[in-house]
Structure 1
Amino acid sequence: MGITQPLHRWAQQTPDREAVLDGPARTTFRELRERVARLGGALRGLGVEPGDRVAILALNSTRYLECLSGIPWAGGVLNPVNIRWSPAEIAYSLDDSQTSVLIVDDAFAGLIPALREASSSLREIVHMGAAPTPTGTRSYEALLAAAEPIPDADRGGDDLAGIFYTGGTTGFPKGVMLSHDNLLASAMGGLVATASFRIAPNARVLHAAPLFHIAGFGVALMTSIVGVPQVVMPFFDPEQVAALIQRERVTEIFLAPTMLQMVLDHPEFASHDLSSLRLLTYGASPITAALLDRVLKALPGTSLVQAYGQTELSPLATLLMPQDHLDADPVKLRSAGRPCYHADVRIVGPDEHELARGEIGEIVSRGDHVMVGYWNRPEETGQALRGGWMHTGDLGFMDAEGYVTVVDRLKDMIVTGAENVYSAEVENAVNAHPDVAGCAVIGLPDPTWGERVHAVVVLHPDRELTAEQIRAHAKTLIAGYKAPRSVSFVDALPLTVAGKVKKSVLRERESER
């Protein structure tokens, strides 16, 4: 079984049912299958062979969903590109994975010249926007119109489905290889737990999270399995989220905590009728107790689910179910829930042995949802998957009932607005400024972003810089969301005897400040 199988099922059983709602446009399952089959033919015509990587750089749309099925339909491997990356970061991921074909929309067509110059692997760029087709690119609609629909390549099982790039401690993104089995195991595990909330004659799912993100992709896959219409919005907009829920009578949505807060804080929130919303799943970053309390009060008729996992787990490991949100036990509400049906989860110590309940250690997981490995990184793959368990890098504990609480991270990863940011990458960017003598980057609690990227900077003698200058410089080298949102200037960084920065001391100092 592969990730295209659900489309076959619903095009066969409910061909005239709406599959995608994109503004005023409506696409049925019959139409979606026809366009996907033509896209498969078009990609084959461009020379895409089984296993070849095809990248998507675009906002959410019906066409994006077509690509998520059309690329594997042609036998290709998905490479969903983070739309917030700089051209240098995008080009790195393209060349690292040897991606030969890039599909880009109007929003990112301006990056085409820079990507052509920076990437050595690209040979074809397909433009799927409404604007005139840029010189040197192929028109998506023209390709589909000229192509003959082809049979599904029937990729599935252990075949590679996608390479999902995530941050790396070295400063370079790592390609997480996920098979069809990996993605389907996670999706089915999530569905088993929540099917009663998702399957109904009037069910509709809104994609507010970006489809390039493993969380957005996972929601799209679960939705396709149950044959529920998918409502797409190009990008997250807090007022439009509420407006679309009301207009399209949306029954389900996934939001990161940062998004949730923005929706609740919008001045027009209370004016919208959100009574259709039955299921709200949140995750991808920690949620504060205060925000969760606000959500419970603002959406009393909506069932809440918290999802915990990571890209390497396709992505689900644990779920905090609706009934847990109604429990008076605050410890459960602070937890990430219990392992999904498909996932085995344990807490282990440095010796890899399972710890007693309540003891803090590293969260590890095994099962069919665990990644194949990191693309072209055998040593890092072996380290992450040692003993047959995926080592998450998160610290936590499990209680007597199996509830897992995440308390910290082993690595210096910062989760800001549901995006992973690694401190080493930001430090490299800040330290590249000629006036900077040293820098350490930490995550600090932030009411909007969950965590914010904070830089502690030491300047060379007789040099002066502002926080905005540091941020502007960093944004020339890395994506804007990775650049420090706040900066402290100090005379020296606290160091260990070995010369390493004592980040625990910095976090304590900066939190007090």
Structure 2
Amino acid sequence: MYLTQTLHRALQQGPDRPMTVFGDRVRTVAESADRVARLAGALRGLGVGSGDRVAILALNSDRYHEYLLATPWADAVLNPVNVRWSAAEIAYALEESDTRILLVDDTFVPMIPSLREKFPGLSTVVHLGDGAAPGGLLSYEELIASSDPIEDARRGGDELLGVYYTGGTTGTPKGVMLSHRNLFTSAIGSLATGTFHTPGGRLLHSAPMFHLADGASWASGQLVGATQVMVPSFTPTGVLEAVSREQITDALLVPTMIQLLVDHPDVPKFDLSSLKHVVYGASPISEAVLERARKTFPGAEFTQAYGMTELSPVATLLLPADHENPSLRRSAGRAAPHAEVRIVDPDDNEVPRHTVGEVVSRGDHVMLGYWNRPEETATALRGGWMHTGDGGYMDENGYVFVVDRIKDMIVSGGENVYSAEVENALAKHPSVAACAVIGVPDDRWGERVHAVVVLLDGLQADEAGLRDFCRDAIAGYKVPRSFEFAEALPMSGAGKILKRELRRQHWGEREQVN
């Protein structure tokens, strides 16, 4: 299969149906196809050759959608850039992947001088905005208007689709190489559950489109003929308005986004009845937030997807029926239809059920490898299994419970403490809106369990009360020995808590003892 196949099928079966919606701008399938073919022609005219990387640094828009299709149409390779990165991080990724052409919107135009200074090889920058292109940049709209459409290269199968750089939250970013087969395997497997996206529905993109979680959702939407509706970025009001105005049927969110939506004071003002499927990831959802979400979106089913960029990105799914069982809501679900999953020890032997080990996965969704990193690729893919670095266990029915990143495990007084277990206990406190648990230096214990807590507006809690609350749910050595209260937790573009940032405040440049 090839990514642009979805556009050919849509053009054949419904050229006049709306394909993209961005603000007041609606483009049909036929209009989108023409613009994609012309953009591909423009890329070729700019010197883009077979397998060359083309990057984009932009907020969500219909033009992002066009980029995702036009780049492989031109026989080139996607390189979506993390919009939360610094200029130094972006320049590093562009230089390492030898990406010499960048599409950029108005939000990130101010970064261009710094990027060019740090990476002189950045030869061409295309401006995605509506107005005139700034000096030294080419106009996206003028390129499309002045370029002839070209035939689709039909780049597909095991050929490289994109280089997706990891978040850099645990060190130097790595370029994950994914093929068309990788992405479609994950998308089709997820859709096979029947609970992922609505055929012919209206799919909202409020999560960042640079991230593969949204990219996979977009690809699934393309497969089922969805209208792709974009908002520039997530804001509670913007999403509520979009769901109501555009009669959205499907949305990809993370639990922090869901919580912000359901707690918004203006929720009753919006008609949210159209929403049928909510797919969430990055972390499990708390029971309290899930119950509020069900009341806010009464017609929606909830599916949790667990995985990582290297798995294109889905490995397991917690389906709507699973959410009816409270004991499974902290689970990441069971192996998706396209994936094989198991839990292994350090020697890659499968461990008994309910025994914590490393989560590994195998199948056609597993990445090709890391860009220019053969040794790290070999380590990650040893034995044909992608080693996720996540610690977890599997129950007797195949449900996977992720307990922690292996590197995030806290060793306190010789005891292993999995932060996710402590966070689950803390999150049930009625005053806690969000929390993160890390290990911090301790002269006596080596590390001590430390909790960073965000309280719900208007509610209070103190250390003693929180500690007593946790003690009722988990063993004493797992209970946080220290607390701090914050207004918010640092988040990645994918909605994951940046524990590296929290640890840095306590460890500085020192390494953790484990």
- In which range does the TM-score fall when normalised by the shorter chain? 0.7 to 0.9
Partners of 1:258 and 1:448 within 8 A in 2 = no
Which of 377, 391, 403 is the equivalent residue of 1:395?
391
Partners of 2:197 and 2:221 within 8 A in 1 = no
Partner of 2:415: none
Q: Bigger shift: 279-288 or 370-379?
A: 279-288
Partner of 2:256: 258
Matched residues in 1 for 2:302 and 2:361: separation?
A: 24
Look up the equivalent residue of 1:371 and give its one-letter code. M
Matched residues in 1 for 2:215 and 2:116: separation?
A: 27
Partners of 1:261 and 1:448 within 8 A in 2 = no
Matched residues in 1 for 2:80 and 2:247: separation?
A: 29
Look up the equivalent residue of 1:32 and give its one-letter code. S
Partner of 1:461: none
Which of 262, 266, 269 is the equivalent residue of 2:267?
269
Show the 5 A alignment for 1:232-247: 232-247=230-245
Which of 289, 292, 295 is the equivalent residue of 1:291?
289
Partners of 1:72 and 1:155 within 8 A in 2 = yes
Which of 351, 361, 365 is the equivalent residue of 1:365?
361
Partner of 1:34: 34
Please state how far the C-alpha of 1:489 moved relative to its aligned partner.
7.7
Look up the equivalent residue of 1:336 and give its one-letter code. A
Look up the equivalent residue of 1:30 and give its one-letter code. A
The alignment's TM-score, normalised by the length of structure 2, stands at 0.81
Matched residues in 2 for 1:502 and 1:162: separation?
A: 36
Q: How large is the Cα RMSD of the aligned pairs?
A: 3.1
Matched residues in 1 for 2:208 and 2:455: separation?
A: 18
Matched residues in 1 for 2:292 and 2:128: separation?
A: 40
Partner of 1:478: none
Look up the equivalent residue of 1:6 and give its one-letter code. T
3-state SS of 1:19 partner: strand
| Structure 2 unpaired stretches of 5+ | 410-418, 424-435, 442-446, 457-483, 491-496
Partners of 2:392 and 2:404 within 8 A in 1 = yes
Q: Bigger shift: 169-178 or 245-254?
A: 169-178
Partners of 1:57 and 1:104 within 8 A in 2 = yes
Please state how far the C-alpha of 1:77 moved relative to its aligned partner.
0.5
Partner of 1:109: 109
Which of 484, 501, 504 is the equivalent residue of 2:512?
501
Please state how far the C-alpha of 1:399 moved relative to its aligned partner.
1.1
Matched residues in 2 for 1:489 and 1:85: separation?
A: 20
Partner of 1:96: 96
Look up the equivalent residue of 1:161 and give its one-letter code. L
Matched residues in 2 for 1:489 and 1:69: separation?
A: 42
Matched residues in 1 for 2:323 and 2:263: separation?
A: 22
Look up the equivalent residue of 2:407 and give its one-letter code. K
Partner of 1:351: 347
Partner of 1:173: 173
The alignment's TM-score, normalised by the length of structure 1, stands at 0.81
Q: Bigger shift: 126-135 or 308-317?
A: 126-135
Show the 5 A alignment for 1:430-469: 444=451, 446-447=453-454
Partner of 2:327: 331
1:162-201 C-alpha deviation (Å, 9 max, x unpaired): 000013577211100001110110011111113685125x
1:442-500 C-alpha deviation (Å, 9 max, x unpaired): 99555589xxxxxxxxxxxxxxxxx9xxx9xx9xxxxxx9698768988xx79xxxx95
Partners of 2:82 and 2:167 within 8 A in 1 = no
Matched residues in 1 for 2:244 and 2:238: separation?
A: 10
Look up the equivalent residue of 1:407 and give its one-letter code. V
Show the 5 A alignment for 1:65-84: 65-84=65-84
Partners of 2:52 and 2:77 within 8 A in 1 = yes
Look up the equivalent residue of 2:374 and give its one-letter code. P
Matched residues in 1 for 2:297 and 2:51: separation?
A: 44
1:206-259 C-alpha deviation (Å, 9 max, x unpaired): 111010011111111000111111111011111111111111111110101111
Q: CA separation of 1:285/1:333 partners in 2, compared to 1, >3 Å: closer, same or farther?
A: closer
Partner of 1:49: 49
Please state how far the C-alpha of 1:298 moved relative to its aligned partner.
3.0
Name segments (4+ residues, structure 1) moved above 3 Å: 167-170, 412-416, 440-449, 481-490, 499-503
